[in-house]
């Protein structure tokens, strides 16, 4: 049985990295993962969305939208949320050659 890499499937169905459709997909996937991490941490800390919104200084409705992946999120908001959740975040930047 021949195995197929996930990147090869993405290339075939969405195009190579750098093509707008593929880049949009990758961005959405990253936001979905980030949203899930925020929700998971909030639950681990036994915080309601209301409590997290008060700690982070942002609207509860925004927390709900972020956790459901229904809105774009700024770096400032990400930092506020992770600080309120007492969690560290690391960003990596990779430069294409």
Three-point CA angle 35, 25, 53, nearest 5°: 15
Residue 17: C-alpha distances to residues 10, 22, 83 (Å)? 9, 6, 32
Please give the distance of CA 51 from its chain centroid, rounded to a whole number: 21
Domain 6-84 = CATH 2.60.120.430: no
Residue-wise pLDDT tens digits, 7-64 = 777 778 778 888 888 777 777 778 888 899 999 999 999 999 999 999 999 999 999 9
Helix (H, G, I), strand (E, B) or coil at 51: helix
Q: Which residues contact 32 (CB under 8 A, 6 or more apart)?
A: 69
> Which candidate, 84, 93, 88, 92, places its Cα nearest to that of 66?
84
Q: Is the pTM of this model over 0.75?
A: no
């Amino acid at each position: 049985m021949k195995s197929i890499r996930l990147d090869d499937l993405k290339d075939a169905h969405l195009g190579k990295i750098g093509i707008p459709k593929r880049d949009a997909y990758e961005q959405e996937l990253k936001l979905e993962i980030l949203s899930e991490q925020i929700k998971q941490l909030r639950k681990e800390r036994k915080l309601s969305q209301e409590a997290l919104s008060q700690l982070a200084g942002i609207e509860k409705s925004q927390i709900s939208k972020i956790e459901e992946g229904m809105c774009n999120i700024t770096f400032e908001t990400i930092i506020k949320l992770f600080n309120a959740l007492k969690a560290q975040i690391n960003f990596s930047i990779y430069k294409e050659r």
